[in-house]
């Protein structure tokens, strides 16, 4: 009995000692920042990857990883992590600016299919806020509509009554538009399955096999949309409308953690 108690005590003590040497994700993040500040970019990446391995993510983490890879001229990882940072902080100007520098390292210059005026306006408007942002806007203006409508019902003076009615009507329109933009943004995000090419150079095939003809060539850092997967192949589409098949090992999905 005493021996068993001693064994249990030793295990508890060992666990305590080991836990005291365990580095937290916050400490790894700080260590990565310190390495980066001293131009130790490879060591910075190692520290940041430890944070990711602890199932922790943030726009700041991805942004710092992207910058470290950019300093080492790692094209695909730099663009990939800038894209990850933009997913979490789409309105951050600093992330957008640095991501533009990384984009300039790409070899492939792919144009974008032109959009009609209405679709271009809708996409531009929707991009102003996140899905949650539009949903919150809808809630705020819905509450405002109720308050203004109550003001309209209980106001006697015709001038104020008219003002309450007009502003209530505008609030209702904004509420409806915000709900619509929120659903549109959600549907767009659900259909969005982007990936970054990590192969230095890859032949895109017309069919999901190596014996098929080559449709076109891509290089590392190019962003593609994954339409479907079949075996070890992914069917992709470029922003210019071109479609082909690529080995799934040559791309890295942005929506995967």
Tell which phi-psi region holds residue 39, choosing left (phi > 0), alpha (psi between -120 and 50) or beta. left
Q: Are residues 215 and 182 both part of a single domain? A: no
- Give the domain CATH number at 85: 1.25.40.10
Indicate the average pLDDT of the chain. Answer: 89
Decide which of 172, 191, 210 is a domain's last residue.
Answer: 191
Residue 184 scores a pLDDT above 60: yes
Separation between Cα atoms, residue 47 and residue 31, nearest integer Å? 6
Q: Are residues 181 and 198 both part of a single domain? A: no
Q: Are residues 185 and 198 both part of a single domain? A: no
* Nearest CA among 39, 36, 95 for reference residue 48: 36
- Give the domain CATH number at 215: 2.30.30.40
Domain membership of residue 75 (yes or no) is yes
pLDDT at 214: 95
Q: Are residues 85 and 157 both part of a single domain? A: no
Looking at the 3D structure of the chain, how many domains does it have?
3
Domain membership of residue 231 (yes or no) is yes
Mean of pLDDT values over 48-72? 95
Whether pTM > 0.75 for this model: the answer is no
Q: What is the pLDDT of residues 77-95, one digit of tens each?
A: 999 999 999 989 988 999 9
Please report which confidence band the pLDDT of residue 12 belongs to, taking 50, 70 and 90 as the band edges: low
DSSP 1: -
Q: Are residues 219 and 179 both part of a single domain? A: no
Q: Are residues 63 and 84 both part of a single domain? A: yes
Domain membership of residue 109 (yes or no) is no
Decide which of 103, 133, 164 is a domain's last residue.
Answer: 103
pLDDT at 8: 52
Q: Are residues 209 and 177 both part of a single domain? A: no
Separation between Cα atoms, residue 61 and residue 25, nearest integer Å? 11
Q: Are residues 125 and 185 both part of a single domain? A: yes
Q: What is the pLDDT of residues 27-44, one digit of tens each?
A: 999 999 999 999 999 999
Please report which confidence band the pLDDT of residue 127 belongs to, taking 50, 70 and 90 as the band edges: confident
Domain membership of residue 110 (yes or no) is no
Domain membership of residue 202 (yes or no) is yes
For Cα atoms 9, 14, 19, give the angle at the middle one, nearest 5 degrees: 130
Q: Are residues 7 and 99 both part of a single domain? A: yes
Domain membership of residue 111 (yes or no) is no
Domain membership of residue 199 (yes or no) is yes
Separation between Cα atoms, residue 141 and residue 118, nearest integer Å? 24
Q: Are residues 159 and 130 both part of a single domain? A: yes
Range of the domain at 216: 194-253
Separation between Cα atoms, residue 247 and residue 232, nearest integer Å? 6
Q: Are residues 11 and 96 both part of a single domain? A: yes
């Amino acid at each position: 009995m005493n021996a068993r108690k001693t064994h249990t005590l030793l295990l508890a003590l060992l666990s305590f000692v080991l836990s005291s040497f365990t580095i937290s994700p916050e400490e790894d993040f700080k260590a990565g920042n310190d390495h980066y500040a001293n131009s130790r970019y490879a060591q910075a990446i190692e520290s940041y990857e430890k944070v990711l391995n602890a199932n922790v993510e943030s726009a700041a983490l991805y942004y710092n990883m992207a910058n470290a890879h950019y300093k080492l001229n790692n094209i695909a990882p730099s663009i990939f992590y800038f894209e990850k940072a933009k997913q979490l902080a789409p309105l951050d100007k600093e992330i957008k600016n640095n991501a533009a520098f990384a984009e300039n390292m790409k070899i492939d210059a792919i144009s974008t299919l032109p959009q009609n005026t209405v679709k271009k306006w809708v996409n531009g408007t929707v991009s102003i806020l996140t899905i949650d942002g539009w949903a919150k806007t809808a809630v705020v203006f819905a509450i405002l509509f109720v308050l203004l409508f109550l003001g309209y019902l209980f106001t006697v003076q015709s001038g104020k009554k008219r003002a309450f009615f007009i502003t209530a009507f505008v609030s209702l329109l904004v509420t409806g538009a915000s709900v619509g933009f929120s659903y549109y943004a959600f549907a767009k995000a659900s259909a969005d399955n982007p990936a970054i090419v990590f192969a230095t150079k890859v032949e895109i095939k017309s069919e999901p096999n190596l014996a098929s003809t080559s449709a076109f060539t891509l290089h590392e850092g190019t962003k593609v949309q994954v339409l479907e997967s079949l075996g070890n192949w992914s069917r992709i589409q470029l922003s210019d409308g071109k479609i082909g098949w690529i080995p799934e090992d040559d791309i890295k999905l942005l929506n995967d953690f």
